[in-house]
Amino acid sequence: MSSTSFTNELINESSPYLLQHAHNPVNWHPWKNSVLEKALEENTLLLISVGYAACHWCHVMEHESFEDEGVAAVMNTNFINIKVDREERPDVDMVYMNAVQIMTGSGGWPMNIVALPDGRPVWGGTYFKKEDWKRTLLQIAELYEEQPVRLVEYANKLEEGLQATQLLETSFESDKKAKDLKPIIVKLEKNFDWKYGGTKHVPKFIIPSNFEFLLKYSELNKAERLKEFTALSLQKISFGGIYDHIQGGFSRYSVDAKWHIPHFEKMLYDNAQLISLYSNAYAATQNEWYKEVITQTLNFVKNELTSPNVSFYASLDADSLNLQGKLAEGEFYVWNKPTLKEMLQEEYELFEDYYNINSFGKWEDENYVLIRSKEDEQFISEHTITSETFKKIKNRWQSILGALRATRNKPRLDDKQLTSWNAMMLSGYLAAYRCMGTKEYFDIALLNAEFIKLELKKIDGNLHHSFKNGKSTINGYLEDYAFVIKAFIELYEATLNKQWLLEAKDLMDYTLSNFQDPTSGLFFFTSKKDRPLITRNFDLNDNVIPSSNSVMANNLFKLSKHFENSEYLKISEKMLDMVNPQIKDYPQGYSNWLNLRLNFNNSFYEVVVMGPNAKSIVDDFNRKYLPNILIAGSETEDESLPLLKHRYKDGEDLIYVCTNGTCQLPVKTITSALKLIK
């Protein structure tokens, strides 16, 4: 750990990641205008290092290099050093990650960039060993001293390359070929791992929007093979060590093909999206294991990632202190045989078989990461015990090992609260509430929505990106607006409280004014009110988090129906047409766009429920997996929203099934309404 004999400017920051570096001998600065202006005035190279609090290799490089006084001397003498929390400043991360990928062909964190005083990059990479790092920095410093024109020439070429990445092919493809998803499915299937689920790539990241698309497509098109693959994937992921079988929650990714050994950090955005995914899968299948995963993961979020004001913290570190007082990856989560035998006594052999305390479940240094390989029904049958008995045994295991974990040093918490990630978690709680009807989940969702509205939305209509120590800071990015709008629409469709739908529309109109590119219809990641970086980027690819543009395009589609706004619909379709060429080339990177394509390709319905029992009827609708509908309604007469006009009859419960605002004759039961929904 860093000695407190050194203190740099990061000591005044609130980001836990930046504070981790506040006592490095490196003279770190935060990313701010005054620092950038200083570099220009002094004509000094910038060294920009980007990471995040839960990043294992960020900690390794800090310990090896940034805590070393010799390395710090090289950095302090030749550069103005800036530390960036990528989660606080995704705009900075996006620009320089694009540069690193152009320069090296790959990216990751920690990400390290050397840039000219004007911020244009000239060199970059990810993790470096100490001697390589030191030698490279000295070579760059020497080159800048003796032949600065060479770096300027390279910066010019790289800037052209970065600008080119933001040029989109103008296609506006809305022909039948663009709408035919069968070739897309064929291309996706080539990469399916039919043994362990997910894709064939290692390491294995969970891309929730990929499975959301497959689940939706299989439901709308009765594609049994895709339904089977989705079920296989959701089972193998949640059986694997990437899922915490003792306390719930998912780690970021697995380093192997069978989802066994995780990179142990737990991120809010992963868990939020996976709760939504498993909730939708539970609604579609009524698989009780999915329900267990949802419940346990929400308990983890409540216990470990929830603040007193019901906002959600960003992450838990991969590393924690071992018995020797050193940070070690996975130390909090792994088990060895002697400990398990001592704790579980006569039940150890049953545990050993269930969680594979054998060669299948072994990690390293006699440590095991729990992984399942059998369905409960098969396991119970093999051991001739009842389902109820085994449920009690399993709960006892979790209680015993959870108590033991409580005696270990916990992973470090990144306790900043990010607007976009909070909105994702709000959506997760709403999804769980819809499929299970658990009132606690609804109550937490509502409290979090109020937190976003009161603490993160400002008087002029804009959102802030981050909240810490009672203050909201950093002007919001497109991702903040996209996920908050999505969550507020979902909150309206769960509650029928129109204030949330009106909030969503207000935020949408603000986004259209401050983020939209009028030429393409797409949205820039940063507001026009923000200081421009090298490029003003579009976020288009659906990765572990769906792209903010794809979320926004889906929001526009839904709001166009709720408000009968044809302009919203035109923008949504234009955005989708703009990315059609990329979808055809690399569909697995555009799955949330494909979810939108399904809305345009298939019949889509507005289900309007009016009457004194509208809320309970809506609750029943929400228990079902109906991916091609939206819900509106009111328990009282309300003419303020287009879908509600002239549809209320005093004392009667009426369900209208509509398409583009045109409704069939009202019915009185859900069964009758479902017959009208294809």
Q: What is the tens place of the pLDDT at every residue in 51-75?
A: 999 888 999 999 999 999 999 999 9
Q: What is the pLDDT of residue 601?
A: 94
Q: What is the pLDDT of residue 169?
A: 62
- On the question of a cis peptide bond just before residue 183, with omega within 30 degrees of 0, the verdict is no
End-of-domain residue from the set 372, 407, 442: 407
Residue type (1 letter), 441: Y
Q: Is the pLDDT of residue 171 over 80?
A: no
Pair (579, 461) in one structural domain: yes
End-of-domain residue from the set 165, 190, 218: 165
326 domain residue, yes or no: no
Q: What is the pLDDT of residue 533?
A: 84
> Is the torsion defined by CA of 471, 475, 480, 485 positive or negative?
positive
Of 155, 249, 235, the C-alpha closest to 198 is: 235
Residue bearing tokens 């089977």:
228
Domain range spanning residue 659? 605-676
Distance between alpha carbon 274 and the CA centroid of its chain, in Å?
Answer: 9
How does strand 253-254 pair with strand 262-263? antiparallel
Using CA atoms, how far apart are residues 378 and 389, in angstroms rounded to an integer? 15
Instruction: Give the number of other Cβ atoms within 10 Å of residue 223's Cβ.
Output: 15
Residue 243, beta-bridge partner list? 250
Q: What is the pLDDT of residue 323?
A: 86
Q: What is the tens place of the pLDDT at every residue in 174-193?
A: 555 567 899 999 999 999 99
Using CA atoms, how far apart are residues 2 and 24, in angstroms rounded to an integer? 6
Pair (461, 315) in one structural domain: yes
Using CA atoms, how far apart are residues 173 and 670, in angstroms rounded to an integer? 38
Contacts of 175 (CB under 8 A, 6+ apart): none
- Could you give phi then psi for residue 301, rounded to 5 degrees? -60, -45
281 domain residue, yes or no: yes
Q: What percent of the chain has pLDDT over 90?
A: 89
Question: What is the CATH classification number for the domain harbouring 47?
Answer: 3.40.30.10
Pair (491, 570) in one structural domain: yes
1 domain residue, yes or no: no
Q: What is the tens place of the pLDDT at every residue in 13-54?
A: 999 999 999 999 999 999 999 999 999 999 999 999 999 998
End-of-domain residue from the set 165, 188, 208: 165
What is the average per-residue pLDDT within 597-610?
Answer: 96
Q: What is the pLDDT of residue 236?
A: 98
Q: How far apart are the first and last CA of the chain?
A: 61
Q: Is the pLDDT of residue 1 over 80?
A: no
Q: What is the pLDDT of residue 170?
A: 56
Q: Residue by residue, what is the 3-state secondary structure of 580-608?
A: HHHHHHCHHHCHHHHHHHHHHHCCCEEEE
Instruction: Give the number of other Cβ atoms within 10 Å of residue 528's Cβ.
Output: 11
| Contact indicator for 299, 248 with CB cutoff of 8 Å | yes
192 domain residue, yes or no: yes
Strand order in the sheet with 464-468: 417-418, 464-468, 471-475
Pair (312, 337) in one structural domain: no
Question: What is the CATH classification number for the domain harbouring 438?
Answer: 1.50.10.10
Alpha helices in 464-520 (DSSP H): 478-495, 498-514
Pair (210, 299) in one structural domain: yes
User: 586 falls in which pLDDT band (50, 70, 90)?
Assistant: very high
| Contact indicator for 583, 184 with CB cutoff of 8 Å | yes
Pair (51, 121) in one structural domain: yes
Q: What percent of the chain has pLDDT over 70?
A: 98
What is the average per-residue pLDDT within 431-450?
Answer: 97
Pair (157, 206) in one structural domain: no
Show the tokens assigned to 581: 């060429």
171 domain residue, yes or no: no
220, 262, 564, 597 from 600: Cα distances, Å: 12, 38, 16, 5
Pair (568, 643) in one structural domain: no
252, 406, 434, 445 from 302: Cα distances, Å: 18, 16, 18, 12
Distance between alpha carbon 532 and the CA centroid of its chain, in Å?
Answer: 25
Using CA atoms, how far apart are residues 88 and 651, in angstroms rounded to an integer? 51
How does strand 79-85 pair with strand 28-30? parallel
3-state secondary structure of 374: coil
Q: Structurally, how many domains does the chain consist of?
A: 4
Pair (453, 393) in one structural domain: no
Upper half-sphere CA count for residue 139 (Cβ side, 13 Å): 8
3-state secondary structure of 48: strand
User: 331 falls in which pLDDT band (50, 70, 90)?
Assistant: very high
Pair (626, 577) in one structural domain: no
Residue type (1 letter), 624: K
220 domain residue, yes or no: yes
Show the tokens assigned to 236: 């193998």
| Contact indicator for 137, 68 with CB cutoff of 8 Å | no
Residue type (1 letter), 69: E
What is the average per-residue pLDDT within 375-387?
Answer: 95
Pair (469, 588) in one structural domain: yes
Pair (563, 612) in one structural domain: no
Integer Rg of the chain from CA: 26
H/E stretch holding 29: strand 28-30
Class of residue 376 by CB neighbours under 10 A (exposed 0-12, middle 13-18, buried 19+): middle
Helices (H) and strands (E) in the chain, counts: 27, 20
Average pLDDT along the chain? 94
Residue 168 DSSP symbol: P
- On the question of a cis peptide bond just before residue 110, with omega within 30 degrees of 0, the verdict is yes
Q: Is the pLDDT of residue 172 over 70?
A: no
| Contact indicator for 95, 111 with CB cutoff of 8 Å | no
User: 164 falls in which pLDDT band (50, 70, 90)?
Assistant: confident
